[in-house]
Homo-oligomer: A and B are copies of this chain.
Amino acid sequence: MDSAALLDLLGNENRRRILRLLSRKPCYVTEISDYLGVSPKAVIEHLRKLEEAGLVESRTDDQRRKYFHIARNVRLEVNVSPYGFGAKSAYPTNSSFDITTCRHLSLNVTYDETCELDELLSTLDNLEQLENELSLAQRWVQGRLCNVLDQISETVGTGPESRIYADILASIRKEPKGVGTLSRDVDAPRDVIANLLEEMADDGIVHRTERGWELASSE
């Protein structure tokens, strides 16, 4: 499911409370209604939206009473900074995914299939610690990304909010490019790109060659 739909769903406090409740145990509508102090009708409407999105599912018990539980694993990440607003959602990877192929990080956790309770609990503990460290690492990366973008803005001499300069420079750093290609890469209109390139050319940061625009420093 896409991040916009997920944010719409999670933007409602009662829906968040329903998810928190269901993540502790499956519930009947009346249980949810009592716990939230919200009418069964409103609860049913929230559950309908959560069910439509596939986040929640219902089953019936022995007495044919319907109860609800969380059906799906999903993860949402949102970054807000002067240099960007990004939201992405994704499903957990399955166990055959090889995490050791990552080039920029390595994990010091082993995950073995086992059915020894003590080992399972120890793995759970390690995974939870790793989860916290990954979160911390992402906050570290976000901080450093902003530092680097600040420094690029300073070097290029633009205002602090001009992510687009960095995107253009990063794009032509790999290979020289024309305005049309850059316009697609950076997702901005051709005339905006052309103006920014001319501006940076005047400052001696980029120049135009036969192959396209490239960094002046890369000569």
* Interfacial chain B residues near A162, Cβ < 8 Å: 25
B11 in contact with A10 (CB, 8 Å): yes
A146 in contact with B73 (CB, 8 Å): yes
**Known contacts A148-B127, A155-B115, A155-B117; A73/B161 CB under 8 A:** no
* Interfacial chain B residues near A111, Cβ < 8 Å: 144, 147
A112 vs chain B, min Cβ distance (A): 10
Q: Does A16 contact B (CB under 8 A)?
A: yes
Q: Does A42 contact B (CB under 8 A)?
A: no
Using a CB–CB cutoff of 8 Å, the interface residues on chain A facing chain B are 4, 6-8, 10-13, 16, 19-20, 22-26, 55, 69-85, 87-88, 90-95, 97, 99, 102-109, 111, 113-118, 120-131, 133-149, 151-152, 154-156, 159, 161-164, 166, 169-170, 173, 188, 205, 215, 217-218
